[in-house]
Amino acid sequence: MKILLYPFLFTLLLIPTDQSVAEQPSISLDETTRQRCLEILRSGMRSGEFWPSIHAAEGLTLAGHGDEVIDYLSGQLPAETDDQQRCGIARELVRAGDKSRASVMLDILSDDDPYGHVHAAESLYKVVEIGDGSALRKAFATTDNVRLKLMAAAALGRCGNPDAMQFLRQSLDNEDPEVLRIAVWILGRIGNATDIPKIRAQLPRCDEALLKAYVQHSLAALGDAEGLNALASNLHDQDPAVRTYAATFAGDAWAFGVADSLKQLLDDENADTAYRAAQSLLVLSGTAPESAGADVSTVVYQATPEHPRYTEGSIVELNDGSLLFAVTEFHGSGSDFAKAHIVGRQSSDGGRTWATPRVLQANTGGMNVMSVTLRRLADNSIAMFYLQKNSHSDLAPYLRLSTDEAATFGEPIKVSSTSGYHVVNNDRVTALSTGRLLLPAASTPDVATDNHFQSHCFLSDDGGQTWRDGKGKVDADKRGAMEPEVVELKDGRIMMLVRTQLGYPGKAYSEDGGDTWSPMTTLGVQGPEAPATLRRIPSTGDLLLVWNNTYTAGAGHGGERTPLTAAISRDEGETWSVVDNLESDLSRTFSYISLTFVRNRAVMSYWDQDKAGYSCRFRSLPVSWFYR
């Protein structure tokens, strides 16, 4: 069975950021040649030579046959004992569509045995997977192994780390030819046209033919005309290594003019050369990947008279690379107390198009169910948290678990054991490095008679099966501390953000894993009475804040929920640097943000409210946008 190209393929095969897709032609490949390319790759994948077979598997995936790769390699991974080869197998399984295998590479990178570290970092770079980024950030910051540092920088730089990109560019000046080779190989794929002059300047020092070819091929991949001419010539070089790397980079460079030479290389005596030629021919006959800098922004859930409010969304990446976007769908009214259930839609193209909605959680409450959080847990299951609202004095968080990638969910687990009205915002549950789950809540006995909230956490130390209430609470003047958000700091403390009526988001700290809390102080930025969303950026380790950067004293809720702004903290939330407005239309409002990171992109949702009602928008930006 033939499948579509791996979702998010545009992040794996990058075109220079200053070229548009429309500028990229493609070749016409006759069916006989196409089938021959596929047969070469299928035969190569089953050959006895390990790394060439892995290269052939890569070609099959890029040609749209990842299902064959998964079928063949899945059985090999458990039997393989060599960590370097385990990385190769896991990498190609991830590329083919089984994202769960990224944990293999991350575990090898974190292992005390350094044997597989470089291969793990290189493989993670190739498939744009960095987990929470901690292992790669550690390797980049502390290693004495230059090759490991380069590969860690490649993975982090590809996912938006500006310091890693700076290191890669500085490495072009390294006197070691091997360092230069690796640096140009990386920059040819994740650099841009501004790197061309400095890469070209390295040619005079390239005394060895293969090193010179690496420099030339990287130039070609960045769109340099001289580099493209050199690549075309290198396809006929006597050295099989030069031919192989030229054939590989032909696809990366979108070098459609070398198709005839690639067809000749299908008969090359060097098997790896033939595999790479087949791969590039199939890639070049397809659709050009989109720029890594694309801003994807679309209303996925449009408000209607029947459903005037779609709000409080959450997004999770499934193991096949697709996205599941859940949201509360209200019926007949935009009130918090209107009838509502939770629906979801999936996208297999990075959020550009979406499948038909399906109900994820029916309305089991006296009023509604709402405010969803989707999280992948440590055991690879998917957790769906939501609120069941029965009355003004009975609002409780629940959890359901899925072991089949959100196709179905198990029986509800009630999180709260205390009565009352427990508000848990969408996309809020946090897993600590200890394995503990924190579900932050703002509680009051009865919202109709006591509209003052205190924030706290429900805690689980067994993967969500059982829960208890934390011992401490965070409070504030006026309506109190509302709609909390928590993040784990590098020193092990937990920081809580809360919505207040005081003109700013508040913050408090816990030194015991979210059980007890310090008194609340200001976060240090202004804000209306509205929720703020806080996450750690995997590739840099910085904190990213998304909130409404405005305040009008005396106005209802302290002002309108617009603009929607992003800020970065490099010192664990002590100070903040505003990046830019994500949304700035003063005639609309934007709130209840969800935020996750998928490969090299920040993936968000938020309400987009206008006269028609509350719609829910999907937004995907490269992490590098926040470091412009």
pLDDT class for 7, splitting at 50, 70, 90?
very low
pLDDT tens, position by position, 240-293: 999 999 999 999 999 999 999 999 999 999 999 999 999 999 999 998 777 778
* Backbone dihedral angles phi then psi of residue 488, each to the nearest 5 degrees: -85, 130
Overall average pLDDT of the 5-32 stretch: 53
Q: List 420's β-bridge partners, or say none.
A: 394
Q: Is residue 15's pLDDT more than 80? A: no
pLDDT tens, position by position, 112-167: 999 999 999 999 999 999 999 999 999 999 889 999 999 999 999 999 999 999 99
Residue the block writes with tokens 């990229």:
24
Q: Helix (H, G, I), strand (E, B), or coil: what is residue 401?
A: strand
Q: Which of 63, 12, 628, 4 is nearest to 292 (CA)?
A: 12
What is the pLDDT, as a whole number, of residue 12? 38
Q: Which residues of 386-421 are buried (b: 16+ CB within 10 A; e: fewer)?
A: bbbbeebebbbbbbbbbeebbeebeebbebbeeebb
Rounded CA separation 523/508 (Å): 9
What is the pLDDT, as a whole number, of residue 287? 82
Q: Helix (H, G, I), strand (E, B), or coil: what is residue 222?
A: coil
What is the pLDDT, as a whole number, of residue 16? 41
Q: Helix (H, G, I), strand (E, B), or coil: what is residue 56?
A: helix
380: Cα separation from own chain's centroid: 16
25 upstream amide cis, omega within 30 of 0 = no
Token code pair at residue 389: 């609202």
What is the pLDDT, as a whole number, of residue 292? 76
* Contact between residue 559 and residue 528 where contact means Cβ atoms under 8 Å apart: yes
Rounded CA separation 432/155 (Å): 23
pLDDT tens, position by position, 185-231: 999 999 999 999 999 999 999 999 999 999 999 999 999 999 999 99
What is the pLDDT, as a whole number, of residue 22? 40
pLDDT tens, position by position, 428-475: 999 999 999 999 999 999 999 999 999 999 999 999 999 999 999 999
Q: Is residue 584's pLDDT more than 60? A: yes
Overall average pLDDT of the 321-329 stretch: 98
What is the pLDDT, as a whole number, of residue 24? 57
* Contact between residue 324 and residue 314 where contact means Cβ atoms under 8 Å apart: no
Q: Is residue 21's pLDDT more than 80? A: no
In percent, how much of the chain has pLDDT > 90? 93
Q: Is residue 321's pLDDT more than 70? A: yes
Alpha helices in 511-550 (DSSP H): none
Of 16-20, 66-70, 264-268, 571-575, where does mean pLDDT reach its minimum? 16-20
What is the pLDDT, as a whole number, of residue 437? 98
Rounded CA separation 246/241 (Å): 8
Greater confidence, 23 or 577?
A: 577
DSSP 229: H
Rounded CA separation 372/300 (Å): 16
Average pLDDT, the chain: 95
What is the pLDDT, as a whole number, of residue 11? 34
pLDDT class for 23, splitting at 50, 70, 90?
low
Rounded CA separation 317/128 (Å): 14
Overall average pLDDT of the 508-531 stretch: 98
Instruction: Print the SS3 string covering 403-426.
Output: CCCCCCCCCCEECCCCCEEEECCC
Residue the block writes with tokens 């075109």:
15
* Contact between residue 162 and residue 191 where contact means Cβ atoms under 8 Å apart: no
Token code pair at residue 73: 């390699």
* Contact between residue 63 and residue 48 where contact means Cβ atoms under 8 Å apart: no
* Backbone dihedral angles phi then psi of residue 246, each to the nearest 5 degrees: -65, -45
> How far from 137 is each of 87, 148, 155, 197, CA to CA, in Å?
19, 11, 10, 29
What is the pLDDT, as a whole number, of residue 14? 40
What is the pLDDT, as a whole number, of residue 13? 40
What is the pLDDT, as a whole number, of residue 142? 86
DSSP 453: B
Element holding 599 (H helix, E strand):
none
Overall average pLDDT of the 93-112 stretch: 97
* Backbone dihedral angles phi then psi of residue 341, each to the nearest 5 degrees: -135, 180
pLDDT tens, position by position, 34-90: 999 999 999 999 998 999 999 999 999 999 999 999 999 999 999 999 999 999 999
Q: Is residue 100's pLDDT more than 70? A: yes
Q: Helix (H, G, I), strand (E, B), or coil: what is residue 72?
A: helix
